Amino acid sequence: MILTQNLSKRFENFQAVDKVNLSLAAGEVLALLGPNGAGKTTTVRMLTSILRPSEGWAKVAGYDVVKQPDQVRASVGVLTENHGLYNRMPAGDYLDFFGQIYNLKPAVRKSNILELLERFGLIAEARKPIGEFSKGMRQKLALARALLHNPPVLLLDEPTSAMDPESARLVRDAIINLRSEERTIIICTHNLAEAEELADKIAIIRHGRIIAQGSSAALKARLLGAAEYELRLATPLDGYKPKLPSGATLTSSGPDWVRYHVDNAQQMNPVILHDLLEQGLPVVSLQEVPRSLEQVYLQAINSPNEADIHYVE
Amino acid sequence: MLNSLRMALVITRREVRDQFRDWRIVFPIITLTIVFPWLMNFTARQAVGFVARYNAPIVAARLIPFLLMIVGFFPISVSLVIALESFVGEKERHSIEPLLVSPLTDRQLYLGKLLAAMVPPLAASYLGIAVYLAGVFIQIGWRPEPVLLVQILVLTTVQAILMVSGAVVVSSQTTSVRAANLLASFIIIPMAFLIQGEAVIMFWANYSVLWWIILALIVVNGLFIRTGLAYFNREEMLGRELDVLKPGWAWETFKHEFIGQAHSILDWYRLEIPEALGKMLLPTIVMVLSIAIGAYAGTVLAKDFPLPPKLLVLSKLNQGFIEGLDALRFFSAAGVSSVWLHNLRVVVIATFLGIFSFGVLAVLVLILPLVLISYVAANMALAGSSPILFLLALVLPHGILEIPAIILAGAAILSLGATPTAPADGKTIGEAFLLALGKSTKVVVGVVVPLFLGAALIEVFLTPRIAVWLLAR
């Protein structure tokens, strides 16, 4: 649904986006992460045929972003970084205006507008001028505008910024629903927990280049190393150092717990458990030590050498 | 086409509704529609009463149509403000991006904005005219000639289109409303001159001239709209955040076009000049045709405004003429440089005028000497003298070089001036202009300047002697 090959954009002497390769199927969600000015918005603008790539190519919903810009724009719904709403216009009229621009028939327009206003809890505010809306309401209205024409591709820039927790949950649930409707979604966000929750794939962009890309789990494995596991025991160790089989490395231990690294957890964890039980240690639980996407992100972004960072996939 | 217009009207409807929600727009429109025509009615009534006392009804007869024109013009001045704000205002408020990512085509978006800026002030203008006409009819029983009314309505409309199309070009090419307002001087000042000119025509009561003004404005409107569409660029609109002067980049762009692939002057003349001349074929043809039309106009003028025959006795050119010139030190390097620099000065002035008139004024300036030559030659013919002899003696010797120089200079300036109307090919208006400047300068420096120098040498050292040799016999 979204395919890019060496997609690049240069503004005079500044390389804003450098050889970005993305491949997203229908129903996949990609979170595009990166510091401000990394090239996220420029990438999105190329995918909406507003900016012309300097090099490479991109196809969105099967259309070439350079050769078929009108079809591309008709196939995407975009939540822009700045919402760009018309303050003097009532919310309902605003959506109706965009419905006309997207060439929706009056009946479809009306039902889509009602459905979206209902979904985002704005139905009671439909006649109010947008200038009277709170930040969160504006964000929801802008998102409704992006969804109005039922696009197969959604490009969402900070979809839950400025929202209260309840509204943010509502929007996240809406995105999950959209994914289940087989829509392809790119989310640009600084909210890493949200990215981890919503995205099938994560792409981290720095200085215009994608420096890491893959599922959250794969990125963790590649950038943070082998997973760490923690064993909790029913009785204190009292200074006893459990012996681990080869392939597992003890990393730390406490009064009633030990942590270790293992390369192949599926094969090794049963062996380790068996050995420890044979040593007479009463194991209560075994679990992977949780690692956050934030660690992955910081590791990637702060790495001094881009060559050290692995592409996944 | 119809669908395109329908989509453009979606934009127009929204913007017009939005304008009517803004009291800062509504208030001046209502004032100029109702109060101003009433004021003009009052003025007309007072003027009629005043001039009647001094038995000068002609003043009132001229004043009332003039006020009709003014009543039509004032409300459309609001359109300038709306149009200047159209793109850049939305850019400043960040509301342009949702429109740019929509499937609206550039043409639909542009046309929609153009109409939105034009419709309310123009409607107010028509209403103002109606109020004024109703007032003067009720008060003094004056009714305009139907042709004059049509002229005023059409003139008001094309003036509104002119201001709006010019202002929309400015709005789509700037990054802030402030910059757009500053650049609006390039619209306001010519409009002020135009209105002054029209005022003279209205008091002169030679209303048929208004048709020529209307025709000229329609051409300029077409050029402005074409320019606006050619350089409407979604990428530039979002990508450019600041209008910064980049002298280094500008110089490099110009230099790259001026020098091209040449490594030496010989290379430049062998590769670059022929290529540049080849690209100017169309403007060269336009110049040749303009000269032909100018020459014809000269002959027509000669019939309408003949010169006294005693001024056309060329046999007076004798040895004394040469001695007179010699006494003025005409036959010297100073004489050559004087003639040469005069011609170059004309090219510079024509370039300046051409840049601000899509090249049109440059063509007029450059063909003027040829119109005069044709006028004198036609007068010679009318007086029974030989125009051929006149041309052979006084024009042809240096004209062999000077006329081609004029044609090429005109073509170069026309090509430069018409740059905004040419397809942009992804370039910004500034970049396209610098490239055209490089190309035109190449032709002027490489061909026109040497031709003028050769012509000046001939004009100083040969033409007077040939003239005396041919005419004094």
pLDDT at residue A310, as a whole number: 53
Please determine, for residue A311, whether its predicted confidence score (pLDDT) is greater than 70: no
Chain A contact set for B103 (CB, 8 A) = 70-71, 73-74, 101-103
pLDDT band, very low/low/confident/very high, at B453 (cuts 50, 70, 90): very high
Is B104 within 8 Å of A101 when comparing Cβ atoms? yes
Provide the b/e sequence for B371-385 (b: ≥16 CB within 10 Å).
bebbbbbbbbbbbeb
Q: Please judge whether A50 and B235 are an interchain contact, meaning their C-beta atoms are less than 8 angstroms apart.
A: yes
Q: How far apart are CA B433 and CA B430, in angstroms?
A: 5
- pLDDT, position B418: 85
Whether residue A220 contacts residue A296, with contact meaning beta carbons closer than 8 Å, is answered with yes
Domain ranges of chain B: 2-239, 247-471
Answer yes or no: do A76 and B235 touch at CB < 8 A. Answer: no
Which chain B residue has its CA at the smallest distance from A94's CA? Answer: B14
Smallest Cβ distance to B18: which of A76, A88, A101? A88
Long-range contacts of B368-372 (CB under 8 A, 24+ apart): B368/B294, B369/B406, B370/B291, B370/B294, B370/B295, B370/B298, B370/B403, B370/B406, B371/B294, B371/B295, B371/B297, B371/B298, B371/B301, B372/B298
How far apart CA B218 and CA B229 sit, in angstroms, is 17
Cα–Cα distance measured from residue A78 to residue A74, given in angstroms and rounded to the nearest whole number: 10
Tell if the CB–CB gap between A101 and B22 is shorter than 8 Å.
no
Domain boundaries, chain A: 2-221, 228-288
Which of A86, A95, A135 has the highest number of chain B CBs within 10 A, making it the mutation to test binding with B? Answer: A86
Strands A76-79, A153-157: pairing is parallel
CA nearest to B370, candidates B297, B458, B285: B297
Query: Which pLDDT band, with edges at 50, 70 and 90, does B63 fall under?
Result: confident
Tokens for A240?
């006893």
End-to-end Cα separation, chain B, in angstroms: 70
Which residues of chain A have a Cβ shorter than 8 Å from any chain B Cβ? Answer: 11-12, 45, 48, 50-52, 70-71, 73-74, 76, 78, 80, 82-86, 88-89, 97-98, 100-103, 142, 145
Q: Span A86-96, mean pLDDT?
A: 93
Instruction: List chain B residues with CB under 8 Å of A50.
Output: 97, 100-101, 234-235, 238
Q: Does the pLDDT value for residue A144 go beyond 90? A: yes
Average pLDDT value for residue range B38-54: 83
Q: What is the pLDDT of residue B31?
A: 82
- Say which amino acid occupies B154: V
For A12, nearest residue in chain B (alpha carbons): B249
pLDDT recorded at residue B34: 81
Q: Mean per-residue pLDDT for B70-95?
A: 85
A259 burial type by CB count under 10 A (0-12 exposed, 13-18 middle, 19+ buried): middle
Nearest neighbour of A50 by CB, restricted to B14, B103, B238: B238
3-state secondary structure of B201: helix
Going by pLDDT thresholds of 50, 70 and 90, the confidence category of residue B423 is low
Which helix (H) or strand (E) covers residue A169, if one does? helix A165-180
Does B7 sit within 8 Å of A101, measured CB to CB? Answer: yes
Q: Å from A48 to nearest chain B CA? A: 6
Inspect the interface and report whether the beta carbons of B103 and A103 lie closer than 8 Å: yes
* pLDDT confidence of residue B245: 67
pLDDT tier for residue B287 given thresholds of 50, 70 and 90: very high
Give B183→chain A minimum CA distance, Å.
Answer: 25
Q: Based on the number of CB atoms within 10 Å of its own CB, is A307 exposed (0-12), middle (13-18) or buried (19 or more)?
A: exposed
Which pLDDT band, with edges at 50, 70 and 90, does B48 fall under? confident
CB atoms under 10 Å from CB of B127, counted, come to 17
Q: Output the pLDDT for position A7.
A: 93
Cβ within 8 Å, pair B95-A100:
no
Minimal Cα distance from A85: which residue of B?
Answer: B95
Contacts of B426 (CB under 8 A, 6+ apart): A52, B233
The lowest-confidence range among A272-286, B26-40, B93-107, B313-327 is B313-327
- What is the pLDDT of chain A when averaged over all its residues? 87
Tens of pLDDT, residue by residue over A221-243, are 777 777 888 888 888 877 777 77
Give the chain B residue nearest A86 (alpha carbons): B95
**Do the chains contact at A50 and B100, CB–CB below 8 Å?**
yes
Chain A hits for B249, CB-CB cut-off 8 Å, are 12
pLDDT at residue B473, rounded to an integer: 63
Q: What pLDDT was estimated at residue A158? A: 86
Q: Looking at the partner chain, which of A12, A73, A89 has a beta carbon nearest the beta carbon of B101?
A: A73
Q: Check: CB of residue B12 under 8 Å from CB of residue B116.
A: yes
Q: Which residues of B touch A89 (CB under 8 A)?
A: 14, 17-18
Residue of B11, B17, B98 with shortest CB distance to A80:
B98
DSSP B36: H
Reply yes or no on whether the pLDDT at B69 is more than 70: yes
Instruction: Answer yes or no: do A103 and B96 touch at CB < 8 A.
Output: no
- Interchain pair A82, B235: CB under 8 A: no
| Residue A171: pLDDT over 80 | yes
- The CATH T-level fold of domain A2-221 is Rossmann fold (3.40.50)
Kindly report whether the global pTM for this prediction surpasses the value 0.80: no
Sort out which chain A residues have CB atoms less than 8 A from B100's CB and list them: 50
Give pLDDT tens digits for A252-270.
Answer: 888 888 888 887 888 888 8
Q: What is the bridge-based pairing of β-strands A76-79 and A14-24?
A: unpaired
Which residue among B10, B101, B235 sits closest to A97, beta carbon to beta carbon? B10
Query: Over the stretch A51-69, which tens digit does the pLDDT of each residue have?
Result: 889 999 999 999 999 999 9
User: Looking at the predicted structure, is the pLDDT value of residue A312 above 60?
Assistant: no
Tell me which chain B residues have a C-beta less than 8 angstroms from the C-beta of A84: 90, 93-98
Higher pLDDT, B148 or B37: B148
Sole residue written with tokens 């990125």: A219
> Residue B240: what pLDDT?
60
Q: Quick check: A88 and B22 CB within 8 A?
A: yes
Please give, rounded to a whole number of angstroms, the shortest distance from the CA of A52 to a CA of chain B: 7
Residues A262 and A227: their CA atoms lie apart, in Å, by 7
B80 contacts B184 by C-beta, under 8 angstroms: yes
pLDDT band at A308 (very low <50, low <70, confident <90, very high): low
A214: CB partners within 8 A, 6+ apart: A201, A202, A222, A312, A313
Closest CA to B195 of B172, B213, B176: B213
The closest of A149, A88, A89, A151 to A115, measured between CA atoms, is A149
Mean pLDDT of B344-359: 90
CA distance, residue A202 to nearest chain B CA (Å): 24
Interface A-B: count of C-beta contacts within 8 A: 69
Burial B318-339 (b: 16+ CB within 10 A, else e): eeebbeebeeeebeeeebbeeb
Mean pLDDT across chain B, nearest whole number? 87
What is the band of B158 on the pLDDT scale with cuts at 50, 70, 90? very high
- CB-CB contact of B105 with B232 (8 Å): no
B253 has a pLDDT exceeding 60: yes
Q: Reply yes or no on whether the pLDDT at B227 is more than 70.
A: yes
CA B268 to chain centre: 33
Chain A residue nearest residue B21, CA to CA: A88
CA distance B376 to B314: 12
Of the candidates A89, A103, A142, the beta carbon closest to that of B18 is on A89
Confidence (pLDDT) at A112: 94
Inspect the interface and report whether the beta carbons of B235 and A11 lie closer than 8 Å. Answer: no
Name the pLDDT band for A307 (thresholds 50, 70, 90).
Answer: low
Say which residue the tokens 């030659």 belong to: B377
Architecture, CATH, for domain A228-288: 2-Layer Sandwich (3.30)
Q: Please, are residues A60 and A2 in contact by the beta-carbon 8 Å criterion? A: yes
At position A189, the amino acid (one-letter code) is T
